[in-house]
């Protein structure tokens, strides 16, 4: 029999008899508290699993980010190569377009020059001759060019076509013509300027004209307003073979 004289006696008895301790614990603690240690062990196990899973995910994410960085670097290299290719292609097509445009203009000038007599006739004049570059240069060198820009004078002597003609009174007139596949403001400005130079250098009337397949809107407005004559060419420019 256990004799209890002090508070230490029951504690000693519980330590010496584990089954008593379990019985007392069941009497004192609720079922939830009794199960707390095992539930904590379960929580700890799940926590460890979660941490392990998180570490695994982090490792996979790091690998994914590395692969993504590699992909981005490769994509940038590819984009740089494509940009270089596109630039080279644009440059080639630009040169090809320029060559084709020059070919069209040269063909148009040649065709227009062959019909110089018909152009003068259509404008109400009688054809006399076309002026060569050397003759235009002679006009420049023998005239007062004070105040005229060197570039404008160079452009004048390289005019596409200058025709000398006579009117119904047999008076001398000139036609300053610029030729282009599609006439624009540059062509009309040069033709009007060259006509002004011809009048200044020769003292005779001069008329601005353009020869083209088509005109931009501003040019067509000048034509419709009678400010410049338009010799409409047929679209018979030869195409390069494929």
Q: Within this chain, do residues 179 and 139 fall inside the same structural domain, yes or no?
A: yes
pLDDT of 226 higher than 60: yes
Q: How many helices (H) and strands (E) does the chain have?
A: 8, 7
Q: Within this chain, do residues 139 and 67 fall inside the same structural domain, yes or no?
A: no
At residue 188 the predicted structure's pLDDT band, cuts being 50, 70 and 90, is: very high
Assigned domain for 63 exists: yes
Assigned domain for 22 exists: yes
Q: What is the reported pLDDT for 119? A: 94
- If one counts the domains in the chain, the total is 2
Please write the tens of the pLDDT for every residue from 59-96: 887 887 888 888 788 888 877 777 776 666 555 544 54
Please write the tens of the pLDDT for every residue from 135-160: 999 999 999 999 999 999 999 999 99
Q: What is the reported pLDDT for 100? A: 42
Angle among Cα 201, 203, 204 to the nearest 5 degrees reads: 115
pLDDT of 20 higher than 80: no
Tokens of 52: 């392990």
Q: Which residue has the higher pLDDT, 37 or 240?
A: 37
Q: Within this chain, do residues 155 and 72 fall inside the same structural domain, yes or no?
A: no
CA distance 219 to 181: 13
CA distance 137 to 74: 61
pTM of the model: 0.56
Q: Provide the domain limits for residue 196.
A: 115-232
Q: Within this chain, do residues 154 and 200 fall inside the same structural domain, yes or no?
A: yes
Assigned domain for 164 exists: yes
């Amino acid at each position: 029999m256990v004799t209890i004289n002090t508070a230490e006696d029951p504690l000693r008895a519980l330590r010496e008899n584990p089954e008593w301790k379990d019985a007392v614990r069941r009497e004192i603690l609720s079922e939830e508290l009794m199960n707390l240690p095992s539930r904590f062990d379960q929580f700890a196990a799940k926590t460890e699993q979660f941490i392990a899973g998180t570490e695994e995910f982090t490792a996979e994410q790091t690998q994914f980010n590395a692969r993504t960085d590699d992909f981005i670097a490769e994509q940038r290299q590819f984009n740089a190569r494509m940009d270089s290719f596109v630039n080279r292609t644009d440059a080639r097509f630009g040169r090809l377009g320029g060559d084709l445009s020059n070919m069209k203009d040269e063909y148009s000038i040649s065709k227009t020059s062959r019909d110089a007599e018909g152009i003068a006739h259509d404008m109400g004049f009688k054809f006399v001759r076309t002026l060569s570059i050397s003759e235009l240069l002679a006009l420049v060198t023998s005239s007062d060019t004070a105040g005229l820009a060197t570039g404008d004078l160079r452009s004048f002597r390289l005019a596409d076509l200058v025709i000398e003609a006579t009117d119904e009174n047999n008076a001398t007139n000139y036609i300053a013509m610029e030729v282009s596949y599609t006439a624009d403001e540059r062509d009309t400005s040069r033709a009007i300027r060259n006509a002004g130079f011809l009048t200044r250098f020769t003292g005779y009337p001069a008329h601005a004209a353009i020869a083209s397949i088509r005109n931009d809107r501003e040019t067509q407005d000048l034509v419709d307003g009678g400010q410049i004559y338009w010799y409409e060419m047929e679209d018979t420019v030869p195409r390069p073979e494929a």
